[in-house]
Chain A
Amino acid sequence: MAVDLSRRSVIPYGPQHPVLPEPIHLDLVIEDEKVVEAIPSIGFIHRGLEGLAMKKDFNDMQYVIERICGICSFMHGMGYCEALEGIFEVEVPDRAKFLRTIWCEMSRIHSHLLWLGLLADGFGFESLFYQAWRIREKILDMAELTTGGRLIASVNKIGGVLKDIDDDMTKAILKNIGEIEEELKQIEKTFLLDYTVQSRLKGVGVLTKEQIHELGGVGPVARASGVNVDLRKRGYAAYKYLDFEPVTSNDGDCYARCNVRLHEVYQSIDLIRQAIAKLPEDRTLAVPVKGNPDGECFVRLEQSRGEAVYYAKATGGKFLDRMRIRTPTFANIPSLCEMLKGATLSDVGLLVITIDPCISCTER
Chain B
Amino acid sequence: MAKLMRFVPTVLKNLFSPPVTTSYPAEPAVYPERSRGHITIDIDDCISCGMCVRCCPPGCLAVSKQEYTWTINRFDCIACGNCVERCPKKCLHMVPGYQEPMGAKTEEVFRKSEEAIQAEIEKKRIQAEKAAAAKAAMEAKKKAEAEAKAKAEAEAKAEAEPKAKTEAEPAAAETKA
A154 near B36 with CB under 8 A, answer yes
Closest A residue to B13 by beta carbon equals A186
The 8 Å CB contact of A145, one of B11, B14, B34, B82, is: B34
Binds A, one of B2-10, B108-116, B160-168: B2-10
Closest Cβ–Cβ distance, residue A127 to chain B (whole Å): 7
B57 near A190 with CB under 8 A, answer no
A196 near B85 with CB under 8 A, answer no
With A131-B10, A137-B20, A148-B81 given, name 19 new contacts (CB 8 A): A57-B55, A59-B55, A64-B57, A127-B11, A128-B7, A144-B34, A145-B34, A147-B34, A148-B32, A148-B34, A148-B94, A154-B36, A154-B80, A162-B81, A186-B13, A187-B7, A190-B7, A193-B6, A198-B3
A-B contacts counted at CB < 8 A amount to: 67
Q: What A residues does B54 contact at CB under 8 A? A: 57
A357 to B148, CA, bound (A): 82
A148 near B36 with CB under 8 A, answer yes
Closest A residue to B4 by beta carbon equals A195
Closest A residue to B2 by beta carbon equals A193
Q: What B residues does A148 contact at CB under 8 A? A: 32, 34-36, 81, 94
CB interface residues, A 158-202, toward B, < 8 Å: 162-163, 186-187, 189-190, 193-196, 198
| Chain B interfacial positions (CB closer than 8 Å to A) | 3-4, 6-7, 9-11, 13-14, 20, 31-32, 34-36, 54-57, 78-82, 85, 94
| 9 A-B pairs with the lowest CB-CB distances in the bound complex, closest first | A148-B34, A63-B80, A195-B3, A148-B36, A194-B6, A145-B32, A190-B6, A190-B7, A189-B6
- Summarize B's interface: helix, strand, loop or mixed: loop
19 CB < 8 A contacts A-B: A60-B82, A63-B57, A64-B57, A128-B7, A134-B20, A144-B31, A147-B34, A148-B35, A148-B81, A149-B36, A152-B78, A154-B36, A154-B81, A162-B85, A187-B10, A190-B7, A194-B3, A194-B6, A198-B3
Q: How many residues of A contact B (CB 8 A)?
A: 32
B34 near A163 with CB under 8 A, answer yes
A86 to B88, CA, bound (A): 28
Q: What B residues does A57 contact at CB under 8 A? A: 54-55
Q: What A residues does B11 contact at CB under 8 A? A: 127
A56 near B4 with CB under 8 A, answer no
Q: Does A67 contact B (CB under 8 A)?
A: yes
Q: What B residues does A147 contact at CB under 8 A? A: 34
B57 near A60 with CB under 8 A, answer yes
Q: Does A146 contact B (CB under 8 A)?
A: yes
B6 near A144 with CB under 8 A, answer no
Closest Cβ–Cβ distance, residue A265 to chain B (whole Å): 17
A127/B20 contact (C-beta < 8 A), A57-B55, A147-B34 known: no
- Residues 190-220 of A, flagged 1 when their CB comes within 8 A of B and 0 if not, give 1001111010000000000000000000000
A194 near B4 with CB under 8 A, answer yes
Closest Cβ–Cβ distance, residue A54 to chain B (whole Å): 14
A148 to B4, CA, bound (A): 42
Q: What B residues does A60 contact at CB under 8 A? A: 55-57, 82
B82 near A190 with CB under 8 A, answer no
Q: What B residues does A194 contact at CB under 8 A? A: 3-4, 6-7
Q: What B residues does A196 contact at CB under 8 A? A: 4
- Residues 118-160 of A, flagged 1 when their CB comes within 8 A of B and 0 if not, give 0000000001100100100100000011111100101000000
Closest B residue to A52 by beta carbon equals B57
Closest A residue to B80 by beta carbon equals A63
A144 near B7 with CB under 8 A, answer no
Closest Cβ–Cβ distance, residue A197 to chain B (whole Å): 8
